[in-house]
């Protein structure tokens, strides 16, 4: 069953229940009112008859029967019988009583003062009446023909209205559900037209106030994120393919040239050195790509433990000095720092990647191959600043340097892949930290790592 049919059925059931409750309530209260009204009229007729008989001496039973017979206000099949305190009949209508009167009924009237019930089509009322110091038992009965006919007519009208309502509600429910679902169907049709080739398309957000408009807005935001991710992945694949293809092409070309004829030993040695440089570059690139892919997954594997940042700094400095003897790294400690503020929780190897990248970049892009590292502590965090003096980073490049494979104009003069900073940013996010940068063209550049204390993680 589709949603439109479900909505129609739900609408139909709810409306029919409401109409049924209203109709039954109208019929029930009308029936109650008919019975009460007829009871009141029947009692008034009986009391009037009793008053005429007991209060006026010139009115005898014969005259009273004639008056009752010729009274146009008498009720249909009206019968009145009056008993004295000895249960002797003082008066009875000319008609034969359709309801038998026995001692049990008289005793019940005497005990309860008033009795009212219905038998067959007759309404029967029995009650005590006092006049001139005497108590009389009055029993009256009649048929409420007009009231019952009115009630039957009301029932027929309610049934007709109910039947018509079933048809009207079915049609209105189908139309109503169609109107309700039309914006959803429009959204479905619009979504169906969006593919990888036209991710720039967006849904119509309507009045931007109701729930469906909010749904369209949320979906458009998701499309924007998907579009950015799609283009980033596309550029990533293109750039990665280019970075990998270039050294492979160079190595292949050098080997093909070397195989054209016999070469000297020195030539082959230089060739192997060149191939080794290319292979090392590919190895470094593939390692960084693998790390970037691992840390960019939704649930990267974490092997976090308590570590000391100063130990990692000294370890990375030694590794960098061995690999590049021309680089200079100066490490300074803030005077307010203590052993308690040097510890955090994280993956030591991943943090080494971040620190090594920032140290190496600081030396690589500075005029004197030197970087100053300042370790300090704030209120709840550890900060490590990497400061170098060089060409700086143009302001329009500051928000792009953390994109994979993006390299600004100044950095293109220095060999690199454009993966280190995006990788560093992702690793810092995994450690609930952040990486900041401030720089200007032809000015010093400062990268700042911010990590939480061990007891705040």
pLDDT for position 237: 67
Average pLDDT score over residue span 405-409: 63
Collapse the DSSP code of 216 into the 3-class scheme (helix H, G, I; strand E, B; otherwise coil) and give the result: helix
Pairing of strands 328-333, 370-377: parallel
Q: From CA 254, how far away is CA 312, in angstroms rounded?
A: 40
Nearest to 441 by CA among 395, 400, 399: 395
Classified as helix, coil or strand, 415 is coil
For range 245-269, the mean pLDDT: 83
- Highest mean pLDDT: which range of 69-78, 134-143, 433-442: 134-143
For residue 33, the model assigns a pLDDT of: 92
> How far, in Å, are 39, 372, 446 from residue 339 at the CA level?
99, 21, 25
Mean pLDDT of 67-77: 72
Mean pLDDT score of the chain: 81
Reduce the DSSP state of residue 373 to 3 states and report it. Answer: strand
Is 411 strand, coil or helix? helix
Identify the pLDDT of residue 75: 80
Q: Which of 1, 7, 3, 2 is nearest to 172 (CA)?
A: 7
pLDDT, residue 301, reads 57
- Per-residue pLDDT band for 348 (boundaries 50, 70, 90) equals confident
Q: Which region among 180-184, 236-240, 368-372, 451-455 has the lowest average model confidence (pLDDT)?
A: 236-240
211-295: what fold? Helix Hairpins (1.10.287)
Asked if pLDDT for residue 25 goes beyond 90, the answer is yes
Q: Which CATH architecture has domain 305-456?
A: 2-Layer Sandwich (3.30)
Average the pLDDT over 112-126 and give the result. 88
189-199 pLDDT, tens digit per residue, is: 888 888 777 87
CATH class of 3-151: alpha beta
Q: Using alpha carbons only, give the angle 423, 199, 245 rounded to the nearest 5 degrees.
A: 45
Using 50, 70 and 90 to split pLDDT, how confident is the model at 350? confident
pLDDT value of position 349: 83
Mean pLDDT of 54-72: 68
Do 4 and 178 form a contact (C-beta atoms < 8 A)? Answer: yes
pLDDT of residue 100: 80
Spatial distance between the Cα atoms of 189 and 191, rounded to a whole number of angstroms:
5
Phi, psi of 205 (to 5 degrees): -90, 5
Helix ranges (DSSP H) in 327-419: 348-364
Average pLDDT over residues 141-170: 90
Each domain of the chain, given as residue ranges in start order, spans 3-151, 211-295, 305-456
Segment 86-103 shows an average pLDDT of 79
Query: What is the mean pLDDT of the segment spanning 239-254?
Result: 73
Burial class (CB in 10 A: 0-12, 13-18, 19+), 430: middle
pLDDT for 160: 93
392 within 8 A of 401, measured Cβ to Cβ: no
Among 234, 347, 251, residue whose Cα is nearest residue 295: 347
The predicted pLDDT at position 27 comes to: 93
Q: Report the distance separating Cα 129 and Cα 253, nearest Å.
A: 130
φ and ψ at residue 353, rounded to 5 degrees: -60, -45
pLDDT for the residue numbered 417: 60
Q: Which residue has the higher pLDDT, 304 or 143?
A: 143
Structure tokens at 154: 């009301």
Tokens of 109: 């009237």
Q: Closest by alpha carbon to 45, among 77, 73, 87?
A: 73
Q: Which stretch of 126-135, 242-251, 325-334, 401-410 has the lowest confidence by average pLDDT?
A: 401-410
34 or 234, higher pLDDT? 34
Residue percentage of the chain with pLDDT more than 70: 84
């Amino acid at each position: 069953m589709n949603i439109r049919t479900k909505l129609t059925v739900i609408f139909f059931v709810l409306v029919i229940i409401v109409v049924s409750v209203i109709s039954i309530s109208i019929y029930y209260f009308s029936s109650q009112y008919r019975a009460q009204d007829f009871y009141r009229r029947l009692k008034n007729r009986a009391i009037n008859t009793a008053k005429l008989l007991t209060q006026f001496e010139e009115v005898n039973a014969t005259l009273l029967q004639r008056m009752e017979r010729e009274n146009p206000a008498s009720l249909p099949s009206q019968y009145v019988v009056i008993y004295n305190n000895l249960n002797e009949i003082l008066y009875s209508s000319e008609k034969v009583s359709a309801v038998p009167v026995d001692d049990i009924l008289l005793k019940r009237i005497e005990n309860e003062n008033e009795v009212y019930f219905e038998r067959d089509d007759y309404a029967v009322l029995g009650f005590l009446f006092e006049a001139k110091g005497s108590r009389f038992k009055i029993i009256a009965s009649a048929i409420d023909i007009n009231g019952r006919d009115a009630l039957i007519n009301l029932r027929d009208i309610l049934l007709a209205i109910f039947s018509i309502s079933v048809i009207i509600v079915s049609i209105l429910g189908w139309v109503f559900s169609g109107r309700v679902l039309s914006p959803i169907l429009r959204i479905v049709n619009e979504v169906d037209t969006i593919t990888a080739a036209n991710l720039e398309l967006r849904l119509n957000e309507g009045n931007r106030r109701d729930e469906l408009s909010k749904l369209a807005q949320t979906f458009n935001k998701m499309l924007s994120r998907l579009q950015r991710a799609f283009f980033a992945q596309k550029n990533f694949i293109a750039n990665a393919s280019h970075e990998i293809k270039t050294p492979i092409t160079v190595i292949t070309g050098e080997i093909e040239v070397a195989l054209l004829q016999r070469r000297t030993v020195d030539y082959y040695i230089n060739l192997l050195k060149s191939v080794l440089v290319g292979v090392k570059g590919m190895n470094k690139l593939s390692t960084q790509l693998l790390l970037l892919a691992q840390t960019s997954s939704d649930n990267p594997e974490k092997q976090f433990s308590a570590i000391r940042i100063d130990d990692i700094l000294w370890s990375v400095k030694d590794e960098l000095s061995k690999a590049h003897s021309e680089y200079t790294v100066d490490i300074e400690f803030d005077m307010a720092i203590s052993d308690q503020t040097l510890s955090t929780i994280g993956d030591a190897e991943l943090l080494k990647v971040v620190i090594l990248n920032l140290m190496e970049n600081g030396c690589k892009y500075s005029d004197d191959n030197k970087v100053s590292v300042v370790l300090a502590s704030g209120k709840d965090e550890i900060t490590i600043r990497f400061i170098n003096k060089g060409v700086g980073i143009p302001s329009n490049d500051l928000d792009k340097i953390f994109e994979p494979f993006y390299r600004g104009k100044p950095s293109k003069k220095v060999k690199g892949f454009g993966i280190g900073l995006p990788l560093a940013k992702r690793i810092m996010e995994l450690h609930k930290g952040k990486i900041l940068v401030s720089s200007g063209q032809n000015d010093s550049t400062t990268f700042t790592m911010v990590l939480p204390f061990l007891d705040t993680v």
